[in-house]
Amino acid sequence: MNKESIISQTKEFAYQHLHDDASGHDWWHIHRVTNIAHKIAVIENADLFLCEMAALLHDIADEKLNTSEEVGIKKVRDFLLSVNVDNEYVSKILEIITTMSFKGGGQPPMKTLEGMIVQDADRLDAMGAIGIARTFAYSGAKNQLIYHPDIKPAEKMDADQYRKRKSTAINHFYEKLFKLKELMNTEMGKKMAESRHLYMKEYIETFFNEWEMK
Ligand code: ADP
Ligand code: NI
């Protein structure tokens, strides 16, 4: 197995699938998540190849981008086999990408260190200045308002209801983004989440100050 060649073919595969997505899953999201995962993986002494591959492929099977989750998973499996990834790695990569989404608010926890790392990296990219930008981009793509005083954040909702519901961009901070800090798995992830969390808090505070003309 030539890991370097596989990584570069996987980058190309991910780029081809996601480069024109405008709902927050574009290639640069994948690029950033892969870099964050790599950085954490070095510190945690984790399997770099597994982290990088799972990060590169983590959104390809997303049900939003496929007719069903099964179709998406098959697409990833077929690709991995076509570039001669060992069976053991195919299973490990698929295990990570099928269990890491926010669905269920982080339950059940990831089984492997590499899964924890890629999940942290994906969550970190949903936070901070970039997370704010992605939230408004996603909201715009879904025709959601920026904010509406009468549309309150959802308390508890299953993943399907959550995805189908029309909410507002500002609600998303309360429904997901402010919860991410507590869900970090690794020490490095926790550390990186701190400043991103604070920045989002400040942003929302300023947003409401302006809204109320304070
Ligand atoms: P990922 O698994 O990469 O975080 P998601 O599909 O959950 O992908 O979300 C893509 C981006 O859009 C993320 O930045 C996320 O916070 C944001 N997002 C997801 N759902 C909503 C929503 N209902 N309203 C606003 N932004 C959202
Ligand atoms: Ni992602």
Q: Which residue's alpha carbon is at the smallest distance from atom 11 of ligand 1?
A: 24
109: domain CATH number is 1.10.3210.50
Q: What ipTM is given for this predicted complex? A: 0.97
Per-residue pLDDT of the chain (214 residues; tens, 9 = 90+): 899 999 999 999 999 998 887 766 789 999 999 999 999 999 999 999 999 999 999 999 887 777 888 888 999 999 999 999 999 999 999 999 998 865 555 567 899 999 999 999 999 999 999 999 999 999 998 899 999 999 888 876 666 666 667 789 999 999 999 999 999 999 999 999 999 999 999 999 999 999 999 8
Helices and strands (H and E) in the chain: how many: 10, 0
Bridge partners for 168 per DSSP:
145
| Mutational pocket test of ligand 1: of 33, 65, 124, 138, the residue with most ligand atoms within 8 Å of the beta carbon | 138
Model-wide pTM > 0.90: yes
Pocket around ligand 1 at a 6 A CB cut-off: 24-25, 59, 101-102, 122, 126, 131, 134-135, 138-139, 144, 167, 169, 172, 176
Give the total number of structural domains in the chain.
1
What was the pLDDT predicted at 174?
Answer: 95
Secondary structure of 149-175 as H, E, C letters: CCCCCCCCCCHHHHHHCCCEHHHHHHH
Q: Ligand 1 center to residue 29 CA distance, Å?
A: 11
Length of the chain: 214
CA of 114 to the centre of ligand 1 (A): 22
Domain that holds residue 177: 3-211
